[in-house]
Structure 1
Amino acid sequence: MIKYTRFFIIILLAVSAVGAKAQSTATTSSPYSRYGLGDIDPSLLPQSRGMGGIATAINKINNYNTINVQNPASYGFINYTTFDVGLYGNIVSLGQTGQTSVSNANFRLSHINFAVPVSRRSALSFGLMPYSEMGYNYKQSESSLHSGLPTDTNTVNYLYKGDGGLSKAYFGYGIGLTKHFYVGGNISYIFGNLVQTSSTEIPKLYGVLNSRIEQSNSIGGLNYDLGLQYSFDFENDTKHLTLGYSTSTGNSINSTASYIVSQYTYDSSGNQNTPADSVVNRQSAKSKIKLPQINHFGISYQYDNHYLVGADFTMGNWSNLTIGGTNAGFQNSKTFNIGGQYTPNNNALRNYFARVDYRLGFIYDQTYLNLNNTNINRYAVTFGLGLPLAPSQTLTTFYKINLSAEVGKRGTVDNGLVKENYVNIHLGFTLNDKWFQKYKFQ
């Protein structure tokens, strides 16, 4: 037990240090993160991601405690102190008609989650997870003959860049009102900064004043999640059919915006000089961001220590998103998730691979973006492994490494848009431990 505990502490410290450094810059490379609050990250651990993102009707998996933040009703099933920490990696290839594809890779800390049982059918959970990510950097060029400078043929560059993200610190509680009916809720604080710049440059024309507009939002506020699960048990409680529902309320959070316009030049060697004094530097009063209500519906069927299958359907009312009183112009989103896992023999003593959880899933996502009269859709297939480690000698501490991969595409090259081919990798370290035990001495 001690050696594994030390292992997890070392991993946590290393991950936290590297993750903090990684999160100081953009952790995604998608032009689609330019819109709204950036790419929204679902509150899922690698266990669920490997099964296509199913989570609404998930609680224990093979009698192993899992922290399912998407549906806080699941906390009521937790009977061991549970700790989960993870890493995230992303590789994106961007393609556009008539242009060479560009690839980028990113890495960060993905989550730190804890859960502690309070009673036989209730538990608390708290932690830190990403809420959204913004990261893009691209250029559009055209002859200045088309940009209001008829006497000059130098190329004009329009540069667009975004950086930052929002995080979600949460505290939740779930309880079983009966053996089969569980309810729960999260109180979350969403916070972070989003910075976007757009520049207009004529880099080959020496001495010309180029301009840059920087808009930033400092965001912070409370959000609430509610959930419920109802299960039906069969065959001596070894088989379970679970129905689940959860919602993220569409309340408002605070935002403080700034707007800065500056001018700068390039020297004769093509290097950018220090920007001159800001032409405009405006700090706005606090405004509100009206978040959308997001509804999750799920169903799962599990045969303990053998297999689990399930499906989720999510509706996001993104047409209600407003930033500073202005509607973001999004459409409502729809997401379908289907997946499951299979464990050949969870009790095998001499065959390690028979105790491994093998996961598979599929995702179809009609996102909230419609650009150039074209829906931006996402398709993906997911894979995952649950790799158990040897438990403690007292059989009160259990460890597992969860690995998942999502291979998919988003967008299209039609109508002047960009197609993304991506691979997302999630690695999680999970600990189940029996704390606060009362020992009896004879």
Structure 2
Amino acid sequence: MIKKLVLVFIAAFSVSAYAQEGTASPYSFYGIGSLKFKGTVENRSMGGLSIYTDSIHVNLRNPASYAGKNLEMLNGESRPVKFTVGGSYSSLNLKSDSGSANANATTFDYLAISIPMGKFGFGFGLLPYTSVGYKLESQDSDNNNRVSKRFRGEGGLNKTFIGFGYQLSNSLSLGFDAQYNFGNIQNSTVAFGYDDDGIMTQLQTRENNRSDLSGLNINLGLSYKAMLNENLEFVSGLTYTPKSSLVSNNERSISTIIVSSTGSESVYRTIDADLAASGLDESDLILPSKFSIGAGIGKPRKWFVGVESEFQQTSQFSNELYTSSAVTYENSSRLSLGGFYIPQYNSFTSYFKRAVYRAGLHYENTGLNIENESIKEFGMSFGIGIPVGSFFSNANLGLELGQRGTTNSNLIQENFINFQISLSLNDRWFQKHKFQ
């Protein structure tokens, strides 16, 4: 038991220590960053499906998964305690009408534990929810394409949560998560000046912004599983996250800087802006409500296929501190299709017959609209769950290929490859001792 806990925390620390910014996407410039959390590696390998629940994997998107049936192999007395930790590496090819570039990011994705308590179950954990990480420059096409502005940003929003689930019947479970959101976003904009000969002046102006974010929200979930016959199982689930708000404590300063020939910036003088005078020192950001529903069929411990739809009222989002006439928010949606296949879950002769093979597709309207262009995403994913150790523990590997954005209206198209890895470790804490 102690060895497994140590392994989980060493893995989490190692991934975090190696991590760069959680994203390299230029679209993290907008709002509170790019959505980082899209489920566990198991979810993402099936196109983002979160409706399937079982006794050996943690499902962080539906809190009803904390409850469930006890295992027959444990004489129906309990379910295993489940630990999970995950990380990912993303490689991006950024393409526009004027050229292309490559970027990458490595990050810790989640750390969580789920503990059974009879018909109840609870879980808690930590995960990055959104991420900001961009370095952009705009050029003045009327003046030999010289750089006119430079934009940089980093940070993001994190979540720590505790959730509870309850098994109402053999088929129906429900649950809820209470989530605390926290983090900060830092960005800067340099406006370059030139003399009459087109030579960059010695001193430039940089605007610095920082927003410290915090707030609470909840997530509700329902899971239903029933046998249609002795071989076929019907699985469905839904989640609902009500609208909530974040408090943003804001700071702004204006710096005079010197830009070297290599592009590095050194501060000459800084003046703090008085945001309180304009009522922007503290602002409220809306986290839009979200609803998902899905269903699927399969043969237990053999195969499963399902579909899930997610809808979010992203048009409710607003940020008083950062506004642009070129950017609007519209309601977002996501469609996921995927499943898994296990050749022979109890094979003693073939290691790979016990592996779980996953695949899926997803299509998403992100809710971001720039220059009247809706930013959309499409991806396909593949994965494998490999048995490790004992008691159904496993390592999960995932690969996701996709495209986000467009080159229309001078925007950027991202072609991405995401590699994901997680450990899903199981152990038994609570068991009845029998004496004869």
| TM-score where L is the length of structure 2 | 0.89
Residue 437 in structure 1 maps to residue 435 in structure 2: no
* CA distance, structure 1, for counterparts of residue 409 and residue 259 of structure 2: 34
Code of the aligned partner of 1:195: Q
The 1:239–1:274 alpha-carbon spacing in structure 2 relative to 1, beyond 3 Å, is same
Query: Partner letter of residue 365 of structure 1?
Result: E
What secondary structure, in the 3-state scheme, does the structure 1 residue paired with 2:173 have?
Answer: strand
Deviations 1:226-252 (A, max 9, x none): 11122222334x532122110111111
Give identity over the alignment, percent. 28
**1:130 and 2:128 aligned:** yes
1:400 to 384, 387, 394: 394
- Say which is worse superposed, 225-234 or 108-117, in terms of deviation: 225-234
Look up the match of 1:239: 232
List aligned pairs for 1:39-438, cutoff 5 A: 39-55=34-50, 57-60=51-54, 64-77=55-68, 79-99=79-99, 101-119=100-118, 121-142=119-140, 155-202=146-193, 205=199, 208-236=202-230, 239-266=232-259, 272-278=265-271, 280=273, 282=275, 284-324=280-320, 329-391=328-390, 397-438=391-432
Q: CA deviation at 1:329?
A: 2.8
Any conservation in 1 of the 2:16–2:107 contact (CA below 8 Å)? yes
Task: Provide closer, same or farther for how the CA distance between residues 437 and 130 of structure 1 changes in structure 2, counting only shifts above 3 A.
Answer: same
User: Is the alpha carbon distance of 1:111 and 1:235 closer, same or farther for their aligned partners in structure 2, counting shifts above 3 Å?
Assistant: same
SS of residue matched to 2:48? coil
Moved more, 328-337 or 220-229: 328-337
Q: Is the 8 A contact 1:262 1:280 kept in 2?
A: no
- Cα offsets for 1:184-238 (capped at 9, x unmatched): 10000011011111111248846532111111110011011011122222334x5
* SS of match in other structure, 1:323: coil
How far, CA to CA, are the matches of 2:222 and 2:273 in structure 1? 50
Do structure 1's residue 30 and structure 2's residue 29 form an aligned pair?
no
User: Would you say the 8 A contact 2:21–2:106 is kept in 1?
Assistant: no
CA contact (8 A) 2:37 2:109 kept: no
Deviation at 1:7, TM superposition (A): 6.3
Cα distance in structure 1, aligned partners of 2:61 and 2:370? 29
Shift of 1:285: 3.6
Structure 1 residue 141: Cα displacement? 2.2
CA drift of 1:278 comes to 2.0
CA RMSD between the two structures: 2.4
Q: 2:10 corresponds to which residue? A: 13
CA 1:7–1:435: 2 relative to 1, 3 Å: closer
More deviation in 289-298 or 40-49?
A: 40-49
Determine the structure 2 residue equivalent to 1:394. none
Q: Distance in 1 between matches of 2:33 and 2:282?
A: 20
Deviation at 1:304, TM superposition (A): 1.0
Secondary structure at 2:352 match in 1: helix
Gaps of 5+ in 1: 147-152, 392-396
Q: CA deviation at 1:156?
A: 4.3
Aligned mates of 1:157, 1:325 — CA distance in 2: 22
Cα 1:313/1:14, change in 2 over 3 Å: closer
Per-residue CA distance 1:256-292 (angstroms, 9 max, x = gap): 0111111122468976443313263646543211110
Q: Secondary structure at the match of 1:265?
A: strand
1:326 offset after TM fit, Å? 8.4
- CA 103–354 in structure 1, closer or farther in 2 if over 3 Å, else same: same
- Report the Cα distance in structure 2 between the residues aligned to 1:349 and 1:366, rounded to whole angstroms: 45
Aligned residue type for 1:30: S
Any gaps of 5 or more consecutive residues in structure 2? 70-78
User: Alpha-carbon deviation of 1:6?
Assistant: 3.0
Taking structure 1 as reference, are residues 269 and 297 closer, same or farther at Cα in structure 2, changes over 3 Å only?
closer
Shift of residue 440 of structure 1? 2.3
TM-score (norm 1): 0.88
Secondary structure in structure 1 of the residue aligned to 2:188: strand
Shift, 1:58, TM fit: 1.4
Deviations 1:163-185 (A, max 9, x none): 11111101000111122221110
- The residue matched to 1:382 in structure 2 has which SS? strand
| Alpha-carbon shift at residue 387 of structure 1 (Å) | 0.4
For residues 288 and 423 of structure 1, the distance between their equivalents in structure 2, rounded to whole angstroms, comes to 35
**Deviations along 1:330-376, whole A, 9 cap, x unmatched?**
00011100000001111111011111111110010111111122111
Give the whole-Å Cα distance in 1 for the aligned partners of 2:200 and 2:222.
Answer: 64
